Amino acid sequence: MTTATAFAVTRAEGRAALVGYFPAGFPTVDGSIDAMKVMVECGCDIIEIGLPYSDPVMDGPTIQTAVQQALEAGVRTTDVLRTVEAVAATGVPTVVMTSWNPVERYGVERFAADLSAAGGSGLITPDVTPDVVPQWIAAADERDLDKVFLVAPSSTDQRLAMTTAACRGFVYATAVMGVTGARATTSELAPPLVARAKATTDLPIGVGLGISDADQAAEVAAYADAVIVGSAFVRTLLDAGPDRAAGLRLLGTVTEDLAEGVRRG
34 is annotated as an active-site residue: no
Q: Which of 181, 217, 214, 213 is nearest to 66 (CA)?
A: 181
DSSP state string for 47-59: EEEE---SS-SS-
104 tagged catalytic: no
Q: Spot the catalytic one: 30, 34, 41, 48.
A: 48
Contacts 24+ apart (CB under 8 A), 240-247: 244/27, 244/31, 244/34, 247/35
Whether residue 236 contacts residue 254, with contact meaning beta carbons closer than 8 Å, is answered with yes
Question: From the candidates 45, 59, 114, 219, which is the catalytic residue?
Answer: 59
- Contact call for residues 101 and 64 (beta carbons, < 8 A): no
The amino acid at 193:
L
| Catalytic positions, written as ranges | 48, 59
